[in-house]
Chains A and B, each alone.
Chain A
Amino acid sequence: MSSESSLFSHRWLPALLLAPMILLILLFFYVPVFQAFYWSFFLEQPFGGGSEFVGFENFQRVLGDPEFWAATGRTVVFMLTASSLAVVVPLMLAIAADRKIGMSYPARNILVWPKGIAGASIGVVFAFIFNPFVGLMAPLNALFPGLWNPGIDGTDAFTTLVAAHVWSGIPFNFVILLAGLRSIPPTMYQAAAMDGAGPWRRIFDVQLPLIMPQLFLTFVLEFTESITSVFALIDTITGGGPGGSTSLLVYKIYVDGFRGFDLSGASTQTAILMVFVLLLAACQFYFLGRRINYER
């Protein structure tokens, strides 16, 4: 036996300690997942009055529905723009905070604070900040009437959503990336500087390659997170509008299932979304994960 298992003398103790967590995951994740997959093959009446097995008909319908593809398209655009920005912005902040510039110590502290705010609260605040009449853009609107209005213009609404998501993603990614930067031995920079590398050169040739594991982690988490966690923001800022311009897949599923009582349609889309997210994570690990060198 290896040294790790000798920590627990009893064979069943580890299993017992894990049991509550496994039970919770089973109850609140695997059972609903199974239910969703099951319902996606049926036409289910909301009050359970009866259900009919329809095979792959639900999938056929959903995959042939232009609205589904429009929502999927918006989800992908959001995933690419919002999650890239949600890594790049904290990366710039982390690099700045890592350098010994003025205020970098308090900044390292303050930038973590948004982590403590729930998505829905962020949504409420951003809806106010981007309000066309009283918010940040109000002076611009006064100069050019109608320039900014997320309640009418879909692009404005989408931009608001991306901004809110990036802002809410700063603390976690900032902490991870800063930790990565702090762990790089200062001798590396000194050596690079001795060889005549300027600050930019040092960022691209020393810092970025050395924090690849952290960058990879934040990207993987962001990509999958951005698909599902955006729900709270949509619900509080735009409600999916205007004209469905911010109705991402995760929100469409909620509206179809809970507001429209279409359990089968919502389940089918859930099943498809779940497969999509799993494939996405698998691709990232397969194509990117293998290229990352975790050794220093």
Chain B
Amino acid sequence: MYFPLSHPWAEDETLGEHLERRGVTRRQFLKYCGEVAVMLGLSQAMVPEIARALQEQRRPSVIWLQLQECTGCVESVLRTADPTIGDLLLDLISLDYQHTLMAAAGKAAEQAKQDAMEKNRGSYLLVVTGSIPRNEDGIYLTIGGRTGQDVLMEAVQGAAAVIGIGACAHFGSVQSARPNPTGAVGIADVIRDRPVVNIAGCPPIADVVTATVVHFLTFNRLPELDGEGRPIFAYGSRIHDQCFRRAHYDAGQYVQEFDDDGARKGWCLYQMGCKGPATFSPCPIFQWNDHTDWPIGAGHPCLGCTERHFWDTMTPFYGRLPNVAGFGVERRADTIGLSLALGAAAGVGAHAIATGIHRARTRQAPNKEPADLPVIPTEKKSEEDPNG
């Protein structure tokens, strides 16, 4: 956990000095750096460099803004898997503003943020969970009497890097689903002058967040990102290609109904609507909650929550993906992308803004557009051979 109290790190101390004072041995530290290298997909030859860079780090200030959201991403970070990794990684930061945990409230809280922004201008990390509601001049979210967008743009100015955590910061998530009543958008839609990292997922796995922070501190730059702004080390492979039920897919062994014989044998969930073939996510590799399990492992199809607009493109969640076969593990999200998705994502945002709140206000009946709804062959289980 990133609870700084458990490992106080003096302001002018480097991490190396800090760890030495804490009694962490060189061997323990290198082992830890090795684990991070594995997570980041780096060669073990990079371990000394990671170690050197981390040792020279001073504790950076982190300002964490919570916008239009459900707090699930904060909870996910609270569940950071390995205590050693969590302690070490999140001890790398001074968490100067974070609504869910901070002691101060109201004016005192806002003052803490102002002080941290001034003192660390140009060097603090800005972490954001939640989306920006743009309809009605942003009055669907205010903090301290200011709109969410106003609060965000002020904090962006002095940030060294912006890391969005979760589907809301990525693209607006559930509140941006059709018809998007509040005009919710991801933060990259309002931050135009710098890259935004998207730790995608609803919520994402916390270990991806911590690995991204380490990458930034080690190399003084963000990790390589895909077209969605997602770090490739975590989102570079498809669930379908890493899934331990994949052999059943290849063997044509499918769950036909929940709790059937196939379900009790752990067979492939493709027929039940699994979106693993269209989803780029580290779930099967990192797994959840201290490597306890993951959604497909526990018998439920993947919802595709690391993909943009999955609430519209991956629904109905129990509808089977069409046309899965025919590409290999070398493909990345940028090239496969949403070609597999169920419905067309294009136009969702515009549609939403045009029809959301205004429609409700003017008291018109909902203007459903059938052509815009996902069309999925949900109940045609035996129609085609998915191995095609």
The answer on A and B forming one complex is no
